[in-house]
Amino acid sequence: MSRISECFKNLQADGQTALIPYVTAGDPEPWVTVPLMHALVEAGADIIELGVPFSDPMSDGPVIQKACERALKNDVTLDSILDMVKQFREKNSHTPVVLMGYSNPLEAMGYQKFAEKAQVVGVDGVLTVDMPPEESGEFKQLMDSHDIDTIFLVAPTTSAQRMKKIAEYAKGFIYYVSIKGVTGAAALEINEVTAKLEEIRRYTSLPVGVGFGIRDGRSAAAVAQVADAVVVGSTLVRCIEEHANRPQELPAAVASLLAEMRHAINARDLASVSA
Amino acid sequence: MPDTQIDDYFKTYPDESGHFGPYGGRFVGETLMGAIYELEEAYKQYKNDPQFQAEMDKDLADFVGRPSPIYHAENWTKKLGGAQIYLKREDLNHTGAHKVNNTIGQALLAKRMGKTRIIAETGAGQHGVATATVAARLGMECVVYMGAEDVARQAQNVYRMKLLGAEVVPVQSGSKTLKDALNEALRDWVTNVDDTFYIIGTVAGPHPYPAMVRDFQSVIGREARQQMLNTTGKLPDALVACIGGGSNAIGLFYPFIQDKSVAMIGVEGAGHGLQSGQHSAPLSAGTPGILHGNRTYLIQDTAGQITETHSISAGLDYPGVGPEHAWLKDIGRAQYVTVTDTEALDAFHELTRTEGIIPALETSHALAYVSKLAPTMSADQSILINVSGRGDKDMHTVAAMAGLNF
């Protein structure tokens, strides 16, 4: 069983929802990322999504665009990000790490080489935003053979027919993009999300995480009632931006923001168990 | 390359999922997948619909002014002392460039699909103007994304778009040029996918755009092929066109692909020279990768980050190129060369003075290459150049090179 599946199994046994923070690797400085990852785990992260910066992040709003720019100014590459994961694994062998980004940096390294390196350093999953199942044949095979979960997106615009196809390709969990828009653009509508998750679960037994549009403890807790995982990105990255000139203080600041969400989710999880 | 590959080209490319060999495809976020399938279905349906075709043909004739003529550039031919030079006059189209052939087609499609809002990206502003033009005529809301750098250097086209009722949004992210405008248009589309039609201006983007835009632009080559047969009694020996995204080139080349005697030459912008790293020539100096929905040649670093491009011509200033050109290069059916800013500028002045035609700086790249090619050929051979646009929009740039300011 993959580290991701194991993680969900344990959480589900305890009636808990996974909390997945997203941070862009190397933002605002490369040395911050590994301490930040540890701080996030301590604040209640169950899985870490590590963004691979790209020069042209077409699915991202301004907050994550700027994070990519800050990271790329430091010459962060897929290679150096794999090194960060390796360092993280020196002290943490239980928290799954998912790389999230765009196809081209993977394409530039070569899928085979990426698969081998990622497996060795302890990457657990990959989410390539601009690689739908239709284009992922060779990539998926290589990820499968190197025990790396391929995570795919489902969107509000995804038809039933496509959900079926995505469910066939997905491993680890399914990531539901809760709004039509780019990351950090708008607040989600909980009723719509609930209805869509019900539909997705008709096609898959994988856990379903929800991201894009979760801004605070309240929305995190609301989503936690219906999803298996809550993904928080732009809110944390905005906090990183605010601390870009004080990077020493940054891990603690971001962690405390995440801890608030963890707290809100746990309170609701508890309330629903006792109710 | 096996001859059979060329004999069956029209039937073979792209395949049903939009691939030209390893290039092309549909590399977009899940939110847009439904929209590009919807577009593909609509396009398939209307492509062979006689009513749709008739409406488009009528617009191309009465609104755009097609067919555009071919012109025998006798002065320039004599001066170069080699092959006969013919110009396909896309500069005479309404709005001044080939871009409108495509926006007419896509806007009619948008209307048929019940979309009420149109968005577009633009570099030099020609595609933005051509889009704003068709949107004005159809009474549709129109938003054009344009890099902030380009907004500054193409003020006149920005004003034209505004006159036509379009909203022009300056894009401040990244390098503030065409690629960033494309990113921002895609972000808009994701957000407003229900009512919005994205008119992409070149043969890039996810399937079906590269094939669809090619089909709309192929009117150039279809006309030119017949016009050359009528005028000279034979096919030209070489076709030459400039390449940014590659829509005017593919429009000219495509109907000739199975005519193996016809050489096809695309001319990319070498900017300050390929060695300088400041150019816009992915086919000549780039490597394959994935950007803006398709796999193609890109100007990128070894880590897969897109790097900044440069060309004197805003319309060529793009780090990618249509995936079909990538494939035509790999199979050897077309040849891709470069000329520098300076060479293009010389050719701009040359055509203006010898033939009384002021070409766009984009087109001037094709002309510059022909000034080298024609003298190596004989007088019974012919070259057909696509004059993709007129140079009015470039007056500021050219004057600034001469130290003048309006």
What share of chain A has pLDDT > 90, as a percent? 89
pLDDT in tens, A138-197: 999 999 999 999 999 999 999 999 999 999 999 999 999 998 888 887 778 899 999 999
Tell me the pairing of strands A174-177 and A152-154.
parallel
Return the pLDDT at A225: 94
Return the pLDDT at B401: 87
Whether the pLDDT of residue B91 is over 60: the answer is yes
Nearest residue, CB atoms, B191 vs list A106, A158, A185: A185
pLDDT in tens, B213-268: 999 999 999 999 999 999 999 999 999 999 999 999 999 999 999 999 999 999 99
In chain A the domains, ranked by start, together with CATH numbers, are 3-274 (3.20.20.70)
pLDDT in tens, B41-80: 999 999 999 999 999 999 999 999 999 999 999 999 999 9
Q: CB under 8 Å to B191, separation ≥6 — which residues?
A: A180, A181, A182, A185
Peptide bond just before B50 cis, omega within 30 deg: no
Residue B287's closest chain A neighbor by CA?
A108
Shortest distance between the Cα of A138 and any Cα of chain B, in A, equals: 12
CA torsion, ordered A97, A103, A109, A113, to nearest 10 deg? 60
The token duo for B379 is 């007088």
Q: Check CB contact under 8 Å for B191 and A106.
A: no
In this prediction, residue B131 has a pLDDT band, given cuts at 50, 70 and 90, of very high
User: Does B27 lie at the interface with A, CB-CB under 8 angstroms?
Assistant: yes
- Structural contact between residues A268 and A275, judged by C-beta atoms closer than 8 angstroms: no
Return the pLDDT at A274: 60
Residues 30-49 of B with CB under 8 A from A: 30-35
Nearest residue, CB atoms, B183 vs list A56, A109, A159: A56
Q: Check CB contact under 8 Å for B30 and A79.
A: no
Residue with tokens 């004197």: B312
Whether the pLDDT of residue A24 is over 90: the answer is yes
Whether the pLDDT of residue A275 is over 70: the answer is no
Nearest residue, CB atoms, B305 vs list A54, A79, A129: A54
Nearest residue, CB atoms, A180 vs list B31, B180, B303: B31
Nearest residue, CB atoms, A134 vs list B26, B192, B305: B26
| For residues A3-23, average pLDDT | 96
Residue A176's closest chain B neighbor by CA?
B30
Within 8 A of A64 by CB-CB distance, chain B residues are none
Q: Check CB contact under 8 Å for B26 and A61.
A: no
Question: What is the interface pTM, i.e. ipTM, of the complex?
Answer: 0.95
Residues 292-311 of B with CB under 8 A from A: 292-293, 295, 298, 300, 302-307
Return the pLDDT at A272: 67
Q: Give the count of beta carbons closer than 10 Å to the beta carbon of residue A167.
A: 19
The mean predicted confidence, pLDDT, of chain A is 95
Residue with tokens 């940096």: A105
Shortest distance between the Cα of B218 and any Cα of chain A, in A, equals: 28
Q: Check CB contact under 8 Å for A55 and B191.
A: no
Nearest residue, CB atoms, B289 vs list A78, A104, A162: A104
Confidence (pTM): 0.96
Shortest distance between the Cα of A262 and any Cα of chain B, in A, equals: 28
Q: Is the dihedral of CA B133, B136, B142, B146 positive or negative?
A: positive
Residue A153's closest chain B neighbor by CA?
B30
Q: Check CB contact under 8 Å for A104 and B304.
A: yes
Higher pLDDT, B7 or A82: A82
Q: CB under 8 Å to B154, separation ≥6 — which residues?
A: B124, B125, B146, B314, B393
Return the pLDDT at B40: 97
- Structural contact between residues B160 and B136, judged by C-beta atoms closer than 8 angstroms: no
| Class of B8-61+99-208 in CATH | alpha beta
pLDDT in tens, A103-124: 999 999 999 999 999 999 999 9
Q: Check CB contact under 8 Å for B183 and A57.
A: yes
The mean predicted confidence, pLDDT, of chain B is 96
| For residues B178-196, average pLDDT | 94
Yes or no: domain B66-96+218-402 corresponds to CATH 3.40.50.1100: yes
Which of A68, A72, A83, A130 should be substituted to probe chain B, the one whose Cβ sees the most B Cβ atoms within 10 Å?
Answer: A130
In chain B, where the domains are located: 8-61+99-208, 66-96+218-402
Q: Check CB contact under 8 Å for A56 and B292.
A: yes
Within 8 A of A213 by CB-CB distance, chain B residues are none
Shortest distance between the Cα of A43 and any Cα of chain B, in A, equals: 31
Q: Check CB contact under 8 Å for B304 and A58.
A: no
Q: DSSP character for B61?
A: I
Nearest residue, CB atoms, B30 vs list A72, A107, A155: A155
Per DSSP, which regions of B130-286 are E strands? 141-147, 167-171, 196-198, 238-242, 263-271
Return the pLDDT at A267: 87
pLDDT in tens, A53-88: 999 999 999 999 999 999 999 999 999 999 999 999
Return the pLDDT at B236: 98
Instruction: Tell which residue, B279, B280, B250, has the closest CA to residue B265.
Output: B250
Whether the pLDDT of residue B405 is over 90: the answer is no
Return the pLDDT at A273: 61
Please give the positions of B annotated as active site: 99, 121, 388
Residues 173-212 of B with CB under 8 A from A: 173-174, 179-180, 183, 186-187, 190-194
Return the pLDDT at A184: 82
In this prediction, residue A89 has a pLDDT band, given cuts at 50, 70 and 90, of very high
**Rounded distance, CA A216 to CA B282, Å?**
44
The token duo for B360 is 């766009």
Rama region for B129: left / alpha / beta (φ>0; ψ in -120 to 50; rest): alpha
pLDDT in tens, A201-257: 999 999 999 998 898 899 999 999 999 999 999 999 999 999 999 999 999 999 999
Instruction: Tell which residue, B120, B175, B142, has the closest CA to residue B314.
Output: B175
What share of chain B has pLDDT > 70, as a percent? 99
Rg of chain B (C-alpha set): 20
Return the pLDDT at A268: 77
Instruction: Tell which residue, B1, B9, B44, has the closest CA to residue B253.
Output: B9
pLDDT in tens, B353-388: 999 999 999 999 999 999 999 999 999 999 999 999
Return the pLDDT at A135: 97
Residue with tokens 């051509």: B130
**Rounded distance, CA B227 to CA B232, Å?**
8
Whether the pLDDT of residue B133 is over 60: the answer is yes
Residues of A near B (Cβ–Cβ under 8 Å) read: 54-59, 61-62, 65, 69, 72, 77-79, 102-109, 129-132, 134-135, 152-159, 162, 166, 177, 180-182, 185
Which of B20, B30, B36, B192 should be substituted to probe chain A, the one whose Cβ sees the most A Cβ atoms within 10 Å?
Answer: B30
DSSP chain A: --HHHHHHHHHHHTT--EEEEEEETTSS-GGGHHHHHHHHHHTT-SSEEEE---S--TTB-HHHHHHHHHHHHTT--HHHHHHHHHHHHHH-SSS-EEEEE-HHHHHHH-HHHHHHHHHHHT--EEEETT--GGG-HHHHHHHHHTT-EE-EEE-TT--HHHHHHHHHH--S-EEEE-SSSSBTSS---HHHHHHHHHHHHTT--S-EEEESS--SHHHHHHHHTT-SEEEE-HHHHHHHHHTTT-GGGHHHHHHHHHHHHHHHHHHHHHHHHH-
Shortest distance between the Cα of A236 and any Cα of chain B, in A, equals: 21
Return the pLDDT at B1: 54
Please give the positions of A annotated as active site: 49, 60
Residue B302's closest chain A neighbor by CA?
A108
Q: Is the dihedral of CA A108, A114, A117, A122 positive or negative?
A: positive
